[in-house]
């Protein structure tokens, strides 16, 4: 008989997932704040999509990648210093590393596709006005889908900083 994963969550786990899902508002605010500075590039995968789509130059992409990775390292250092626990991602028991990688690839593709379709595509028309909202919603949905299994990073820089600081590869 099929048993839903969501019915087995403890109240604390449910609250944690709700908190993670509400981070879509934070993602929306970050994009709105940085859209005039860097085009809202906070994800190396989105930067790569922009590079492949011809929206930014190679040198600008390299600058963004360096800034994104350094920002991730600094953020991981701050979290570890403030909370005195090691940061990093891991997959839940029963989820293999390959399955976690495939899930992250699918979630990241969803984010990159949404960003490109709503914010970067020159043929988007007036759809660009809802880009931060659409991106926030896809991030929130991805957190609800992938969070219980592997943390739903969706961002190579977001995973790199904690992995480097916690030395968990």
Q: How far is CA 25 from the centre of its chain?
A: 13
pLDDT computed for residue 51 by the predictor: 92
Nearest of 106, 104, 136, 138 to residue 35 by alpha carbon:
136
Distance CA 139, CA 77 (A): 24
Q: What domains are defined for the chain?
A: 12-166 (1.20.1080.10)
pLDDT computed for residue 10 by the predictor: 58
88 versus 113: the higher-pLDDT residue is 113
Distance CA 143, CA 59 (A): 32
Distance CA 25, CA 31 (A): 10
Percent of the chain with pLDDT over 70: 74
Query: In this predicted model, what pLDDT tens digit does every residue of 137-147 receive, in sequence order?
Result: 888 888 888 87
Q: Is the pLDDT of residue 93 over 70?
A: yes
Give 125-164 as a DSSP string. GGGGGGHHHHHHHHHHHHHHHHHHHH-----HHHHHHHHH
Query: In this predicted model, what pLDDT tens digit does every residue of 152-167 receive, in sequence order?
Result: 788 888 888 888 887 8
């Amino acid at each position: 008989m099929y048993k839903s994963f969501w019915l087995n969550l403890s109240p604390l786990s449910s609250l944690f997932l709700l908190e993670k899902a509400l981070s879509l508002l934070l993602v929306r605010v970050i994009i709105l704040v940085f859209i005039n500075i860097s085009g809202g590039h906070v994800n190396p995968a989105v930067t790569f999509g922009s590079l492949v789509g011809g929206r930014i130059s190679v040198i600008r992409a390299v600058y963004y990648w360096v800034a994104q990775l350094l920002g991730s390292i600094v953020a991981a250092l701050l979290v570890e210093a403030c909370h005195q626990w090691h940061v990093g991602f891991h997959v839940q028991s029963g989820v293999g590393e390959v399955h976690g990688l495939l899930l992250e690839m699918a979630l990241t593709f969803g984010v990159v596709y949404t960003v490109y379709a709503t914010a970067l595509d020159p043929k988007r028309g007036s759809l660009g006005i809802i880009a931060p909202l659409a991106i926030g919603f896809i991030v929130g949905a991805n957190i609800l889908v992938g969070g219980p299994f592997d943390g739903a990073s969706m961002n190579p820089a977001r995973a790199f900083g904690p992995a480097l600081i916690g030395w968990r590869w």
